[in-house]
């Protein structure tokens, strides 16, 4: 497989629910189309920001289908299929293939805490059972364990459809090591909005973003400025972007960004599913102050 590039900015899209908590697939698909019109090169459906852990297989299939149909090849659609069960991930990838996804995001197994050999066998087995391009998602803060660059390089060598990584370890040196070890056509995506610029400096080629649910144009401008060599402009944009990104993490993602979508875009993202819940008054006041200070929320 020739390793595809999904674009510079991939939005980890929030999932919209109706007021009764049911899936609003049509609303989410319309939002995906809006995101493509506002800076996103590709869309990630049912990732962490999309509250994937509380969605059923049937709901995910409905959601994948709606977004893919709505975008109609205007932008790639990557769907989250990973879990801490290798066999369940394989079954979810079969759904992704059936509905026509352009790629799958597979998170490192959480709670199990596999060894590096366990990570390798998990992803190798998954890759052997799908033709779809796979984006490895390394997020130690949520999974409890870190997929090391040597393991990713081994997977890239042995699995031609493992084509990219969303690196959310928060470690610039780890991105640098990935860039050193991985093939030239392997895509390294920052998984942390606030670290986009330093990650680009050591080898990242794009961002899988939370902030771009409401602020995609700024992120595109920042990355494009860096790519064309206007590093000073990228630095100045970074000064604006980093506080905006931090404002979306005053409490656990996706709580702030989902409320931000409802307040800063033409869409109502709806309620959360437990165990996620709305911010307290104190948390909301803190978030609002940060949004206003950074220019995201107008007075």
Point out the residues that are catalytic.
137, 166
273 neighbors 264 (Cβ within 8 angstroms): no
- Beta-carbon contacts of 275 under 8 Å, excluding residues fewer than 6 positions away, are none
For the record, the structure tokens of 270 come out as: 């709806």
Residues 237, 131: Cα–Cα separation, whole Å? 39
DSSP state of 53: G
Q: What angle do CA 256, 257, 260 make, to 5 degrees?
A: 90
DSSP state of 21: S
Residues 76, 82: Cα–Cα separation, whole Å? 18
| Nearest in space to 162 (alpha carbons), one of 190, 130, 189 | 130
Place of tokens 């890759």: 127
Residue 12 pairs with which residues in a beta bridge?
Answer: 44
């Amino acid at each position: 497989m020739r390793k595809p590039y999904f674009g510079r900015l991939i939005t980890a899209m929030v999932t919209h629910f109706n007021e009764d908590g049911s899936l609003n697939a049509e609303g989410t698909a319309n939002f995906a189309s809006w995101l493509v019109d506002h800076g996103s090169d590709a869309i990630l459906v049912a990732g962490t920001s999309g509250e994937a852990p509380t969605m059923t297989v049937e709901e995910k299939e409905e959601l994948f289908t709606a977004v893919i149909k709505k975008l109609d090849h205007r932008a790639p659609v990557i769907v989250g299929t990973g879990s801490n069960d290798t066999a369940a991930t394989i079954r979810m990838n079969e759904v992704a293939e059936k509905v026509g996804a352009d790629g799958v995001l597979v998170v490192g197994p959480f709670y199990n805490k596999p060894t590096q050999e366990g990570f390798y066998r998990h992803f190798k087995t998954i890759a052997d059972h799908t033709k779809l391009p796979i984006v490895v998602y390394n997020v130690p803060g949520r999974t409890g364990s870190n997929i090391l660059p040597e393991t990713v390089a081994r997977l890239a060598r042995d699995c031609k459809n493992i084509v990219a990584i969303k690196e959310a370890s928060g470690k610039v040196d780890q991105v640098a090591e990935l860039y050193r070890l991985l093939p030239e056509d392997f895509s390294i995506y920052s998984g942390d909005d606030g670290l986009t610029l330093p990650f680009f400096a050591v080898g990242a080629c794009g961002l899988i973003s939370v902030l771009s649910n409401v602020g995609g144009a700024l992120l595109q401008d920042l990355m494009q400025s860096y790519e064309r060599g206007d590093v000073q402009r990228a630095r100045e944009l970074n000064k604006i972007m980093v506080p905006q990104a931090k404002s979306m993490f005053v409490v656990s993602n996706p709580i702030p960004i989902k409320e931000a979508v409802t307040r800063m875009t033409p869409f109502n993202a709806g309620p959360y599913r437990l165990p996620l819940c709305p911010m307290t008054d104190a948390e909301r006041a803190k978030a609002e102050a940060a949004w206003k200070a950074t220019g995201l929320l107008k007075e």
